[in-house]
Amino acid sequence: MTAHTVTVGLGPLSIEDVVSVARHGATVVLSPESEAEITRSRDIIESLASDPAPHYGVSTGFGALATRHIPVALRAQLQRSLVRSHAAGSGPEVEREVVRALMLLRLSTLATGRTGIRLETARAYAAVLSAGITPVVHEYGSLGCSGDLAPLAHCALAVMGEGPVRLADGTLTDAASALRDQGIEPVVLAEKEGLALINGTDGMLGMLALAITDLRMLLKVADITAAMSVEGLMGTDAVFAADLHELRPQQGQALSAANIRAVMKGSPIRASHRDEGCTRVQDAYSLRCAPQVAGGARDTVEHAARVAGYELASAVDNPVVTKDGRVESNGNFHGAPVAYVLDFLAIVAADLASMSERRTDRFLDKARNHGLNAFLADDPGVDSGHMIAQYTQAAIVSEMKRLAVPASVDSIPSSAMQEDHVSMGWSGARKLRRSVDGLTRVLAVELLTAARGIEMRAPLQPAAASAAVIAELRREVDGVGTDRFLAPEIEAAVELVASGRALAAVETVTGPLR
C-alpha cells in the first residue's frame, strides 16, 4: 500500500485510515473544521481556570486524589506530573504500528473538540506522527479503564520532549533530540491537557482495527487452504453447493462456501473420483463443515468491525466539553465494549486454527489420507515428511486455546478503589495479536502440507486456483522429495500467507474472493 495523507477531522476515521497511518506510514493533517472546534472548546476550558468551583482535571487532582483543589500556580505542574507519573509502563516494547495507531486515535478524539486541548498540542501530535517518530511504549501498564493510561502517557511524555523514542528507521534516541531535528516544538501542557492526552481506549482500539484487517485476509486464506485440503484428500465439493447453504442463511457461511467452490472449480483431482466407484458417503467434519466454522468466524469479525466503527466515531475523554459548553464527567473511557470483541476474536481465531490443524493431520495419517504416503514422506521410515510440522501446528493451536481465555472477565480494582472495575481490554488486545500471528502460522503449515499432498496425486492435476498458489509457493520452497531442513520452508509459507501473496495468487484465477 502506498502511504498517503490521512485527514483527521470532526467525522470518524475508518479502519483503513488507522491501518494506513499505523502500518504504512501515512502522514496526518487536521481538518480546518476540527481546528476551529478545538479552539472553541479550549476557550471554554480557559474560562474555567479562575473559577473557584472545582473542575476535574482543571483545578483538581486525579482519580482518588480528585478531592484535592489545585491552586492556579501549580496547575501546569499538575499536568506535567500527571504524564510523568502515569508513564509507568514495564516490559517489552510495543510494536511501532500499535503505538502509531494509538497516537492517531488519541488525535482523532482531540480533533472532535470535546477534550478542551489547545490547538498547538493537537498539531504537535500530527507532526510527530507525520515525522515517523514513535514513542517507546511498554507491554504492561494499562487496565483498559480510565483509558490506556500508561501507554498513552508514554506518548504524551514524548510530545513534551521527554523519554525515549524511535525514529522512522528504528533508531533509538531521546524525544528532545528527535523533536528538535524535525523542527517540532515540545509541548508545555496547560490546564486539562495532560488528562486529555491519556484518557482513552486508543491502544486497544488500534489493535482491534489492525486485527480486523488481518483476520479479514486470513479468513479468505482459510477458505483457500480448506479447499486445497478437500481437493488433496479426495473429498467432495458437493457439500459446498449454494442451495445447501441457503437452507441455513448465515451470511458468513455462504461466503465461505462460495470461496471454496471458486478455488476448487474445475479440479481434475475432484473429477477423478466423481463417479459410482467412490464409496465415501461423507467427508469428516474438518472438511465438510469448513464453511460453518470459517463463516461463523467471518460474522464475528464483522460484528467486531461494527463495534470498532462505533468507537472510531467516539470522543473518549473525562471530563468532556459538550457542544453546549458544559464540562461533564462521564464513564466513556471504560473499555468494556472493545474488550468483549477482542476476546471474542481470540476465540474464533483459535477455533479456525484448530480445524486447520485437523485437516493437516488427516493428510499425514495413512489410514485417512486416501492413498498417500504416511506423513507425506518420500520414503516413509527413512523420511519423516511433515510429521513434525504438524507438531508445530499443534503447539500453536494449544497456545491459541490458552489465549482464547477471556481477559475481560477479570478486574483488579485500582486508585484506592475509585477505579473499582476495569476492562482489561489492553490485555485482550495484546493476546489477540499473538493469536492472529498463530493463526497465520497454522494456515501456512496447512497450505504447505496441502500443496505437497496435491502434488503427490500426480499425474492428476489440481484446480487452476490451487495450482496458482502452489506455483507461488514453489518459487521459494521445493516440491516433493526427500527430507530437507523444514523450518525455513515453514517460514517461507508464513511469509506467503502474511504478505497476502497466497491470496493474490489465487485471485488471479478466481477473481476477488469474498
Q: What is the pLDDT of residue 318?
A: 86
Q: What is the pLDDT of residue 412?
A: 86
pLDDT digits (tens, 9 = 90+) for 265-310: 999 999 998 776 666 668 999 999 999 999 999 999 999 999 999 9
Region of residue 418 (phi > 0: left; psi between -120 and 50: alpha; otherwise: beta): alpha
Rounded to a whole number of angstroms, the distance between the first and last alpha carbons of the chain is 20
Q: Is 56 a catalytic residue?
A: yes
CA dihedral 409, 410, 411, 412 (to 10 degrees): 170
Task: Identify the structural domains of the chain with CATH numbers, from first to last.
Answer: 5-200 (1.10.275.10), 208-510 (1.20.200.10)
**Is pLDDT at 150 greater than 70 in this prediction?**
yes
**Rounded CA gap, 112 and 34, in Å?**
6
**Rounded CA gap, 371 and 91, in Å?**
51
What global pTM score does this model have?
A: 0.95
Q: Residue 131 class from Cβ within 10 Å (0-12 exposed, 13-18 middle, 19+ buried)? A: middle
Q: Which of 338, 340, 251, 297 is nearest to 436 (CA)?
A: 297
pLDDT-derived band of residue 67, with 50, 70 and 90 as boundaries?
A: low
Among 56, 125, 285, 340, the active-site one is 56
**Is pLDDT at 33 greater than 90 in this prediction?**
yes
**What average pLDDT does the segment 334-355 reach?**
97
Return the residue matching grid coordinates 479502519.
15
pLDDT-derived band of residue 331, with 50, 70 and 90 as boundaries?
A: confident
H helical segments located in 48-95: 75-86
**Rounded CA gap, 149 and 154, in Å?**
9
**Pairing outcome for strands 327-328 and 320-321:** antiparallel
Q: What is the pLDDT of residue 256?
A: 98
pLDDT digits (tens, 9 = 90+) for 1-10: 456 899 999 9
Q: In this structure, are residues 151 and 89 in contact, taking their beta carbons and an 8 Å threshold?
A: yes
**What average pLDDT does the segment 227-238 reach?**
96
Residue type, 1: M
**Within 10 Å of residue 292's Cβ, how many Cβ atoms?**
18
pLDDT-derived band of residue 154, with 50, 70 and 90 as boundaries?
A: very high
301 Cβ contact partners less than 8 Å away, ≥ 6 residues apart: 212, 215, 216, 219, 345, 348
Provide φ and ψ at 172, rounded to 5°: -85, 130
Q: What is the pLDDT of residue 350?
A: 98
Return the residue matching grid coordinates 496435491.
454
**Is pLDDT at 165 greater than 80 in this prediction?**
yes
**What average pLDDT does the segment 365-379 reach?**
96
Q: What is the pLDDT of residue 442?
A: 98
Q: What is the pLDDT of residue 239?
A: 96
- Tell me which of 50-54, 60-64, 264-268, 422-426 is least confident: 60-64
String of DSSP letters for 10-27: SSPPPHHHHHHHHHH--E
pLDDT digits (tens, 9 = 90+) for 88-113: 999 999 999 999 999 999 999 999 99
**Is pLDDT at 407 greater than 80 in this prediction?**
yes
**Is pLDDT at 369 greater than 90 in this prediction?**
yes
**What average pLDDT does the segment 384-392 reach?**
98
Q: What is the pLDDT of residue 51?
A: 66
**What average pLDDT does the segment 313-320 reach?**
90
**Cα 230 versus chain centre, distance:** 29
* CB-side neighbour CA atoms (13 Å) of 348: 27
DSSP code of 115? S
**What average pLDDT does the segment 399-405 reach?**
98
Q: What is the pLDDT of residue 279?
A: 61
**Is pLDDT at 371 greater than 60 in this prediction?**
yes
Q: What is the pLDDT of residue 43?
A: 92
430 Cβ contact partners less than 8 Å away, ≥ 6 residues apart: 139, 207
pLDDT digits (tens, 9 = 90+) for 475-505: 999 999 999 999 999 999 999 999 999 999 9
Q: What is the pLDDT of residue 417?
A: 78
Q: What is the pLDDT of residue 92?
A: 97
At 187 the three-state DSSP class reads coil
pLDDT digits (tens, 9 = 90+) for 236-262: 999 999 999 999 999 999 999 999 999
